[in-house]
Amino acid sequence: MHAHQRVIVAMIDGLDPAYLDGGTMPVLTGLGAQGTSGIVDAISPTVTNANNAGISCAAWPAEHGITGNSYFNPATGEADYMEDWTHLTQPTLLERVTTAGGKAALLTAKKKTVRLLGNRTTLAVAAEEPGSEFTDRYGPAPDIYSAEINHWLWGVAVDLLATQPDLDFLYVHTTDYPMHAWPPGDPRTIAHLRRLDELIGEAVAAAPDAAFFATADHGMNGKNLVHDLSQALANRHAPVRFALSAEKDRYVKHHRTFGGTAWIWLHHPADESNVAQTLSSLPGVETVLRREEAASRFHLNPDRIGDLVALGDRDTVFGELPTGRESEQLPQEYRSHGSLYEQKVPLFASNNADYPYTRQPSHNKDLLAPLLGAWTIDS
């Protein structure tokens, strides 16, 4: 017998609530209908690493330390990816489970997630680069830039739940490549989500005793304008030391690393008002916050964001463009996230008798909050 109810977590990357319109995922919504379901807020900036860390630690970025996909390293003067477990300032629930003597597995589409969340797990596999023990059993994984990679991943989850009943905690993180590629209602979207939904049903059937939890890291919207803020500010007599899209990661094909939140580092503190005013004058820049304002409003670690924070409107993103080009119109099919307009995400929980909510979750990082006290060394 298990001391704890088993747990299945579906972190469905980029699952904007609009993707559920028209009943695309009847199993998932049915599970929520039996338990807890709602639309909640994601963590800002609405990028994957900040939210994946938030969901798996059940904590704010001020607590877990991950404020985006990248950060500016003043020592090198360059951006570094914020995707290593050593950047976490709090243990994940996977780590809490194994520290308490349980078994926890991380299944993810992306290699970067193993580096960020895979520390001290019993098992951590990225479909992008699975070991031969996985490809021998499940066949080769589809390309990282595909919808099918998510189906492969959930196929592994179903098998692990059926064959390893002593696995206490299973965290499955899919890729949002299909959401970047296709809008809600597109036939390719529907094919992706319908199969994903069937596989979630198979996973729950394979572990009927398990508590089931699901949410997303951010929504997704069409975008039509990108600014390179370093160039745009320099061209307006407001040069800055560094400007960084909080979304910048290694997966350029998804979104060319453009996102709706930018951090800006100043040359001198005295530049602040000039730079802030110039930023505010750019089309599509909706809000400019000082470091402390942004840290307090979004529960961020102030040491890991810029001196200023720019938030785009619904249609505008930030990133790096070729020298000599400060902005660009984006193609009609371009979709991305990172702004306050991708904050709404669905949340579902069912069969979670051992992990009841003491209050209705308001954020995706509350999904696993009931588990925080459940795993202790003494249990």
The footprint of Zn ion (CB under 5 A) covers 13-14, 48, 176, 217
CB nearer to Zn ion: give 12 or 275: 12
Measured from the CB atom, the residue of 13 and 320 that comes closer to Zn ion is 13
Q: Which two tokens stand for residue 213?
A: 């939890």
SS3 letters across 301-332: CHHHCCCEEEEECCCEEECCCCCCCCEEECCC
Q: Tell the smallest beta-carbon distance from residue 338 to Zn ion (Å).
A: 9
Q: Report the residue number, 48 or 98, with the smaller CB distance to Zn ion.
A: 48
Residue 7 structure tokens: 């747990």
The residue of the chain with the least Cβ separation from Zn ion equals 48
Q: Which is nearer to Zn ion, 168 or 176 (CB)?
A: 176
Of 14 and 284, nearer to Zn ion (C-beta) is 14
Pairing of strands 335-336, 7-11: unpaired
Closest contact distance (angstroms) between CB of 14 and Zn ion is: 5
Q: Give CA–CA dist 16/342, Å, rounded.
A: 7
Q: Of the two residues 37 and 46, which places its CB atom closer to Zn ion in the complex?
A: 46
Least distance in angstroms from the C-beta of 105 to Zn ion: 20
106 touches 169 (CB < 8 A): no
Amino acid at 35: G
Tokens of 196: 């994903």
CB of 69 to Zn ion, least distance (A): 9
Question: How many whole angstroms separate alpha carbon 327 and alpha carbon 310?
Answer: 15
Q: How far apart are CA 264 and CA 308, in angstroms?
A: 5
Between residues 182 and 375, which has the closer beta carbon with respect to Zn ion? 182
Dihedral sign of CA atoms 69, 72, 78, 83 in order: negative
- Closest distance to Zn ion from the beta carbon of 230 (Å): 24
Q: Min. distance of Cβ 179 from Zn ion in angstroms?
A: 8
Give min distance, CB of 87 to Zn ion, in A: 17
Q: What is the DSSP string of 81-103?
A: E--SGGG-SS--HHHHHHHTT--
Reduced to 3 states, what is the DSSP secondary structure of residue 178?
helix
